[in-house]
Amino acid sequence: MSTPYSGATPAGAPQGYAVPPSADPNPQNYAAEYSGTMGTPTTEAGRPDVEGTSVGQLIGEVTKDLSTLMRQELELAKVEVKAEAKKAGQGAGMFGAAGFAGYMVLLFLSFALWWALANVMDIGLAALIVAILWGVVGAVAFVLGKKKFQQVNPKPERTVETLQQVPGALKPN
């Protein structure tokens, strides 16, 4: 359906044509990119001039505008999510680098402890003591991690509860 009533034209703009995206002073106005080349004529007061237009055409334009708005909002959401995902990925990379650096610090501190103990006792016994210390740290971390996993509930309780309320809300009273 192609009519001259697709998208509002600002007051003072040439009647019958939409504002081109490049001339739009608001770069966040995505409506100009998606509307047709024709615009809704406006009155001097800036309201759409719909005199002589049928109700069916007006409803068609409203549904077309709503559809366009939904597509624009979906596109905007995609762009926002993509930008946020990129930032999250960069942050995760930095956490990975920090984790690796922490691992290297612990490795070299372990070597330093081993060599410090080697000054007081046999090298083999010093290495065994450092290994036992790391074994204790690993066992404690394992037990704490196991407790946390046992507390995890894979069933989304609140979502299930609200979804069970939907059929009742759709029934007429």
Query: What pLDDT is recorded for position 47?
Result: 81
Which of 104, 135, 154 finishes a domain?
104
- Domain of residue 140 covers 121-173
Task: Indicate if 132 and 81 belong to the same structural domain.
Answer: no
Q: Is the pTM of this model over 0.85?
A: no
Kindly report the number of other CB atoms within 10 A of residue 129's CB atom: 14
Residue at 109 is within a domain: no
Contact present, 107 and 99 (Cβ < 8 Å): no
pLDDT of 28 strictly over 60: no
Residue at 113 is within a domain: no
pLDDT of 100 strictly over 90: yes
Task: Indicate if 11 and 60 belong to the same structural domain.
Answer: yes
What 3-state class would DSSP assign to 38?
Answer: coil
Average pLDDT value for the chain: 78
Contact present, 110 and 134 (Cβ < 8 Å): yes
Q: How far apart are CA 9 and CA 39, in angstroms?
A: 5
Looking at 14-28, 106-120, 152-166, which range is the least confident one?
Answer: 14-28
